[in-house]
């Protein structure tokens, strides 16, 4: 029986969240390391890196989808004591990830030039983008696999080993980046290609370690070849449950691109720089929130699978309260320090002023962001993907876009950010109502 079925709900969530903080920090270090070393090459190389982020994020949504879909079934199966299904789903999810990524990689490799030209890359910058993405697409299976393998580990309630793997990946990437980019020792200077190769190698080693843990430590991989009908059914369930998470991941840059475009129309380059600074600081503020999101998956899945619906309801209530407490604490922390933190990222007084406004005003809506994220995660885990799709689409198209547009038209930059904060609060309220409604009618029988 899962250890998560007994004991304090609050204590379990706290214990499961702590390791995740280290994991989120490792991911941040990984990304910042690539950006830092590439920036040493020059402005054009940094611009090329910026172009790659959007495409890599969208393809990364594929991994998030496979990971979420697999985790939803695995956690509920473990809670119900069905380890056969948990092993089968782990194996099928890994094979689906490899095949899906391979298909996307082939398509991506042969469409690098038209795709990035459409995004605005040209001349030498486009050549640099091609140099990076050719290596990345060749090794995309290794780059995409870690979120899926780590997600399977967390599904079994193992939150510590994925963090160790992620931290090791970050360290390896820190070591390989300067060696391969600048050509230290016997290695030739590879520039952008070196940055891509360092990422692929580090993530590949991480994926290998996670696969070894899944097989040897948790015995969660079933090596038997399933019947094609069973395999297709398993894949269809993983995809059905993973689409909402992938959609959410893909919609985030869409929303961000929309309000950054509005900012550019209001305050030009300085407003865009302020938004970029503010969102970068937000990503640091959200580390604990993202770690808590990973804790929800095994805890809710195991308890829902065991039909401990009361403990799932308690998780919903605790998460809602925590969203307001956490956002309130970060707002109080930002009040005296927002200006100081913003000045670390820019020495332009106007950028610092606007970045400070962004941090303080946007923080008023952070509770809504957390509720949307955590309620969507909870619904994904219990196998209710349709409300998650509704939450994601309504947050971006029904709330963020019109509210930020109206705010910017009437009150400029401050109005834009206020509209964004208000939109997040409304979206959080809608997510709360949707989740409460879904949990009032739990499945009569445990369904995979």
pLDDT tens-place string over residues 368-408 = 999 999 999 999 999 898 899 999 999 999 999 999 999 99
pLDDT at 362 over 70: yes
Q: What confidence score (pLDDT) does residue 443 get?
A: 58
Is 286 strand, coil or helix?
A: coil
Task: Answer whether 120's CB lies under 8 Å from 54's CB.
Answer: no
Is 159 strand, coil or helix?
A: coil
pLDDT at 445 over 50: no
Question: Which residue, among 299, 291, 316, has the nearest Cα to 157 in the 3D structure?
Answer: 299
Q: What confidence score (pLDDT) does residue 208 get?
A: 92
Please state, in angstroms and rounded to a whole number, the distance separating the CA atoms of residues 332 and 84: 49
Please state, in angstroms and rounded to a whole number, the distance separating the CA atoms of residues 80 and 269: 54
Please state, in angstroms and rounded to a whole number, the distance separating the CA atoms of residues 372 and 209: 32
Q: What confidence score (pLDDT) does residue 327 get?
A: 96
Q: Name the residue ranges covered by the structural domains of the chain.
A: 1-226, 244-448
Distance of CA 58 to the CA centre of its chain: 11
Mean pLDDT of 173-192: 90
Distance of CA 98 to the CA centre of its chain: 19
Task: Answer whether 112's CB lies under 8 Å from 339's CB.
Answer: no
pLDDT band of 49, cuts 50, 70, 90: confident
Q: What confidence score (pLDDT) does residue 416 get?
A: 94
Mean pLDDT of 5-32: 88
Q: What pTM did the predictor assign?
A: 0.86
pLDDT at 123 over 60: yes
Least confident span in 71-85, 114-128, 166-180, 267-281? 267-281
How big is the CA angle at 71 (ends 67 and 74), to the nearest 5 degrees? 140
């Amino acid at each position: 029986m899962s250890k998560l079925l007994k004991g304090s709900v609050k204590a379990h969530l706290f214990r499961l969240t702590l390791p995740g903080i280290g994991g989120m920090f490792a991911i941040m270090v990984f990304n910042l390391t690539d950006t830092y070393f590439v920036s040493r090459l020059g402005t054009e190389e940094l611009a090329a890196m910026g172009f790659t982020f959007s495409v890599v994020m969208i393809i990364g949504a594929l991994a998030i989808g496979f990971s979420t879909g697999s985790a939803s079934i695995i956690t509920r199966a473990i809670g119900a004591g069905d380890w056969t299904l948990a092993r089968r789903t782990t194996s099928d999810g890994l094979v689906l990830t490899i095949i899906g990524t391979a298909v996307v990689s082939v398509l991506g490799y042969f469409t690098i030039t038209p795709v990035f030209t459409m995004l605005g890359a040209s001349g030498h910058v486009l050549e640099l983008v091609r140099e990076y993405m050719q290596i990345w697409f060749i090794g995309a299976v290794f780059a995409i696999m870690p979120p899926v393998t780590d997600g399977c580990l967390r599904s079994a309630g193992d939150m510590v080993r994925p963090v160790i793997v992620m931290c090791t990946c970050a360290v390896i990437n820190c070591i390989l980046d300067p060696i391969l980019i600048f050509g230290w020792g016997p290695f030739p200077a590879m520039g952008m290609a070196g940055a891509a190769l360092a990422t692929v190698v580090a993530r590949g080693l991480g994926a290998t370690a996670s696969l070894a843990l899944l097989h040897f430590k948790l015995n969660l991989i079933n090596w038997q070849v399933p019947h094609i009908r069973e395999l297709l059914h398993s894949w269809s369930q993983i995809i059905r449950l993973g689409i909402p998470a992938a959609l959410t991941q893909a919609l985030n840059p869409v929303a961000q691109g929309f309000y950054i475009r509005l900012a550019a129309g209001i305050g030009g380059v300085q407003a865009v720089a302020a938004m970029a600074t503010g969102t970068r600081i937000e990503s640091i503020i959200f580390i604990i929130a993202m770690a808590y999101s990973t804790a929800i998956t095994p805890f809710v899945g195991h308890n829902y699978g065991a039909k401990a619906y009361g403990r799932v309801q308690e998780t919903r209530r605790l998460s809602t309260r925590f969203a307001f407490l956490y956002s309130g604490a970060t707002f109080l922390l930002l009040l005296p320090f927002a200006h100081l933190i913003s000045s670390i990222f820019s020495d332009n007084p106007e950028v610092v002023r606007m970045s400070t406004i962004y941090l303080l005003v946007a923080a008023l809506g952070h509770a809504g962001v957390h509720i949307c994220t955590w309620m969507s995660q909870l619904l994904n885990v219990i196998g209710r993907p349709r409300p998650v799709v509704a939450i994601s689409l309504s947050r971006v198209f029904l709330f963020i876009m019109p509210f930020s547009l109206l705010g910017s038209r009437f009150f400029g930059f401050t109005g834009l950010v206020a509209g964004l904060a208000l939109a997040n609060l409304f979206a959080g309220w809608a997510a709360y109502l949707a989740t409460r409604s879904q949990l009032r009618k739990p499945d009569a029988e445990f369904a995979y």
